[in-house]
Structure 1
Amino acid sequence: MILNSEGFTGLEAAIVLIAFVVTASVFSYVILGAGFFATQKAQDVVYTSVGQSSSGIEILGDVYGNSTMVGGINAKMDGIRFVVGLTAGGSPVDFASTTLTFQTKDNVTKINNVTKISSSSTDVISDKTAINPGQWGIIDIANYENNDKGALLENQEQFTIYTVFDEPNQISANQEFNLEIRPASGASYGIKRKAPARITKINILN
């Protein structure tokens, strides 16, 4: 008795074809998933890079150098005062976790904030005379709302920062320096200035 094997051959071919289709579908799903994941990661990297390459703060108005010394050729600036605000569309900046770094051609020094500045405080304004050499503080806040005088610089707010230098970092006439503001996130902002040829009690720095 001779059996007809044509039916079995067609069934086997169909099984093999179905297996190939299922395998191709699974492989395509894996490839598409990997592509979507890579696209999402690339997008996150772009957004993060843009956020960290642009500073969210800017200087408003002039930068002033103060001197408590008697005028003369040996007078030095021992303090700097300036006002900061957010750039258009900038995210709030927590000045409790922001550091200031003073740089000259000879050295780099970190300037500590006064202990009154903390993220949980509702009033971080310090008296100018209470800021010791080697420290910086917020001496005024403008445009705040709901009596909020905390360390978070928000939209429309303006912080007046005062920095006091210790003796090794006091600025001489014609000396160039950079005071860098470094937030916890985002790019830092450098204030590059040069002391005038003759230092007086209050100096506008260019």
Structure 2
Amino acid sequence: MILIAFIVVASVFSFVVLGSGFFATQKSQEVIHAGIEQSGNALALGGTVVCQGDPSGGKVGKVEINLETASKGTGVDMTRVSYRIALHDVLLTIPPGDPKIEEIVWRYRKDSNTILEAGELVAVKLDLSTANIAEGDTFTVEIIPDTGVALALTRTAPPDITANDYYELI
């Protein structure tokens, strides 16, 4: 009788252990699939980063960033991307639709939607005059899609900025 009770308890215990193992495996698969989906929405630098001097000179006025997708994922809706600029003690956030996003120019486009997909190239022009990025300052522009991985670019402003001139940022 004791042997039968021991076998019943052991089988119930093993059923519970196996059930929780299957549950953990299923959750792990869901996390992996979600991670793969989000990494498919990653942005990458698609060329140079160029700045234009402020009309008064001595600081950065506008920055143009060329972007593409990092992989063949579902793409990134460019109308839902926000930007964050970090400089010394300044943190400027530019939400989607903000007038500081001056222009989104499609350099190469496969279709007419606003989603940046594999093989497409877009240039985003941001007005950063309110960030007061002075000559020689190092700053970071973080490009944040609504889903997927953010792209952070750290650049240094030129040591001498003339009004309205263009400079490639390295």
**Band the TM-score falls in, shorter-chain normalisation:** 0.7 to 0.9
TM-align CA RMSD: 2.8
Distance 1:53 1:144, change over 3 A: closer
Deviation at 1:67, TM superposition (A): 2.2
Aligned-partner SS, 1:75: coil
Q: Does 1:76 pair with 2:59?
A: yes
Task: Name stretches of at least 5 consecutive residues in structure 2 with no aligned partner.
Answer: none
What is the percentage of aligned positions where both structures have the same residue? Answer: 29
Q: TM-score, normalized by length of structure 1? A: 0.68
Deviation at 1:27, TM superposition (A): 3.0
**Residue type of the partner of 1:37?**
F
Partner of 1:42: 28
Alignment partner for residue 197 of structure 1, among 144, 154, 159? 159
Larger relative CO (CA 8 A, sep 6+): 1 or 2? 2
Contact 1:181–1:188, Cα closer than 8 Å, also in 2? yes
Partner of 2:116: 153
Output the CA distance in 1 between the equivalents of 2:66 and 2:40. 19
**Residue type of the partner of 2:168?**
I
Which has more strand, going by share of residues?
2
Deviation at 1:171, TM superposition (A): 2.2
Contact 1:56–1:91, Cα closer than 8 Å, also in 2? no
Distance 1:113 1:42, change over 3 A: closer
Contact 1:114–1:137, Cα closer than 8 Å, also in 2? no
Paired residues in the alignment total: 168
Alignment partner for residue 140 of structure 1, among 105, 126, 132? 105
Larger Rg: 1
Contact 2:81–2:95, Cα closer than 8 Å, also in 1? no
Aligned-partner SS, 2:64: strand
Task: Name stretches of at least 5 consecutive residues in structure 1 with no aligned partner.
Answer: 1-12, 116-131
Deviation at 1:41, TM superposition (A): 2.4
Contact 2:60–2:133, Cα closer than 8 Å, also in 1? yes
Contact 1:113–1:137, Cα closer than 8 Å, also in 2? no
Deviation digits for residues 95-153 of structure 1 (CA, Å, limit 9, x no counterpart): 232210111012101123436xxxxxxxxxxxxxxxx4xx114431133234x132x21
